[in-house]
Chain A
Amino acid sequence: MITVDARGLRCPAPVIRLARAAADAPPGTELTVLATDPAAVHDVPAWARMRGHAMVGATEQDGVHALTVRTHA
């Protein structure tokens, strides 16, 4: 389980940070990106779909979105 902190960053930076972390991780890794940019809520699932990763979960607390993906095997 890897956490990527992209709080305070605007689109497309959260997705890029997540993609960098995913590229370095072994297949099947779960990664959670923390983001305050509302666009990340839409763009992380869209990125996961384009890259063949699975969306595992999405929660929000105090304006911070936690979006979790599992990289494809």
Chain B
Amino acid sequence: MTHATARRAVLDAGGRAPLLPEARTAFLEALDQGWADPRRLHAEGRRARMLLDGAREAIASVVGARTEEVDLAPSHTAALHGAVRAVARGRRRTGTQVVVGAVERAAVLNAADFVGDRVTVGVDRDGRVDADAFTAALGQPGVALAALQHANGEVGTVQPVDAVHAAARAAGVPLLVDVGASLGHAEVGATWDLLAADAGDWGGPGGLGVLVTRSGVRRSPDWPEDEDRWFPGGVSVPAALAAAVALQVAVSTRSTDDDSRRRLVETIRTRVAAEVPDVEVVGHPVERLPHVVTFSCLYVEGEALLTALDSRGFAVGSGSACTSSALEPSHVLAAMGALTHGNIRLALPRGTQEQDVERFLAELPGIVAGVREAWGVGGL
């Protein structure tokens, strides 16, 4: 061994990025100042309520909404489930169909199946939904809701949200836009009726989701009443404050962070394709998130590759079935017609060092070759 493996390179920040230092400070301060139940009427409770509402206000300002349109959820999954369920119930007289892109998060697909009849619009080889097919599906009678992500967190491809939102508006159907992989990394625009986001993804604490609902979108809970109507029980005040602070930091440093991450991703895409034999780099080459890059290595077991990389100091993600408890591989890779085994998914956190990426690129070809050798697949 010529390298020490003490140095870790975390290249798997999707949905759970390292906590930004400013968020950590805000969290600790809020533990002192905002520990009380914000539903209480005493001074301590009112102080917690003020911090919570301040967090909502800050998030509202970043996404271009009013504070009362922002609801905080105990997770991104809960935000997506709550959005689909409440709108489906609110618009049940219109119909039971939920139109979704094929590469939406599992939380959206499962919620659509749960509330009604899911209509799934396919994607091309890059993972982009067909805007015309989406528009046609929106024009059918009986559509309660549609959902299209801003960009895919597994492969980075940006979706044609503007065109689909215009079609949804024309059809009178509210559009839920999942910005869980985008907010804090890319401009998410204003073409949405409901917006769901994930604080853990932008460097805030895990366990906090955001749902923004434009006034005028009809929704109705299909769960028991609670003082916190949309997400019963409310959320942690310190987590909410830390999330809001992290989002402000993420947005204020976005252009520099993203220039450097986009360059690193471009280098990874080019060099992996050139230096690893039989590899497919997936996702749209240009219309993409600045920090996500995914590729699949033919004849390679994902788990073996992930474990080998981990032992060399690299934390990476994977969409291969053998890397999860699920038997099914990533529905995103499957919908794109991409190779699902031997998959590696990188989501570069802010401040990723060029030297870590260089070391990853230097070691990867040998690690892939080693896994292939163990399976005896040379020359196939």
Pick from B278, B322, B327, B379: contact of A50, CB below 8 A.
Answer: B278
Decide if A43 is an interface residue (CB 8 Å cutoff): yes
Task: Please state if B298 and A47 are interface contacts (CB–CB under 8 Å).
Answer: yes
Cα distance A38–B329 when bound, in Å? 8
- Give the contact stretch, choosing among B62-70, B78-86, B133-141, B337-345: B337-345
Chain A residues in 8 Å Cβ range of B338: 42, 46
Task: Please state if B380 and A20 are interface contacts (CB–CB under 8 Å).
Answer: yes
Decide if A73 is an interface residue (CB 8 Å cutoff): no
| SS class, residues of chain A in contact with chain B | helix
Pick from B296, B299, B340: contact of A16, CB below 8 A.
Answer: B299
Task: Please state if B339 and A46 are interface contacts (CB–CB under 8 Å).
Answer: yes
Which partner residue on chain B sits nearest A41 by CB separation?
A: B334
Cα distance A39–B300 when bound, in Å? 13
A42-58 CB contacts (< 8 Å) to partner B: 42-43, 45-47, 49-50
Decide if A12 is an interface residue (CB 8 Å cutoff): yes
Decide if A19 is an interface residue (CB 8 Å cutoff): yes
Closest CB pairs A-B (n = 8): A12-B341, A46-B339, A11-B341, A19-B380, A39-B329, A42-B334, A39-B321, A42-B340
Cα distance A41–B337 when bound, in Å? 10
Task: Please state if A16 and B339 are interface contacts (CB–CB under 8 Å).
Answer: no
Task: Please state if A12 and B301 are interface contacts (CB–CB under 8 Å).
Answer: yes
Which partner residue on chain A sits nearest B338 by CB separation?
A: A46
Task: Please state if A19 and B299 are interface contacts (CB–CB under 8 Å).
Answer: yes
Give the B-binding residues of A (Cβ under 8 A): 10-12, 15-16, 19-20, 23, 37-39, 41-43, 45-47, 49-50
Chain A residues in 8 Å Cβ range of B301: 11-12
Given contacts A11-B340, A12-B301, contact A23 B329 (CB under 8 A): no
Interface centre among A16, A23, A38, A50 (most CB of B within 10 A): A16
Chain B residues in 8 Å Cβ range of A41: 334
Chain B residues in 8 Å Cβ range of A12: 298-301, 341-342, 375
Chain B residues in 8 Å Cβ range of A38: 321, 327-329
Task: Please state if A11 and B380 are interface contacts (CB–CB under 8 Å).
Answer: no
Chain A residues in 8 Å Cβ range of B302: 11
Cα distance A38–B257 when bound, in Å? 39
Decide if B213 is an interface residue (CB 8 Å cutoff): no
Cα distance A12–B98 when bound, in Å? 34
Cα distance A39–B320 when bound, in Å? 9
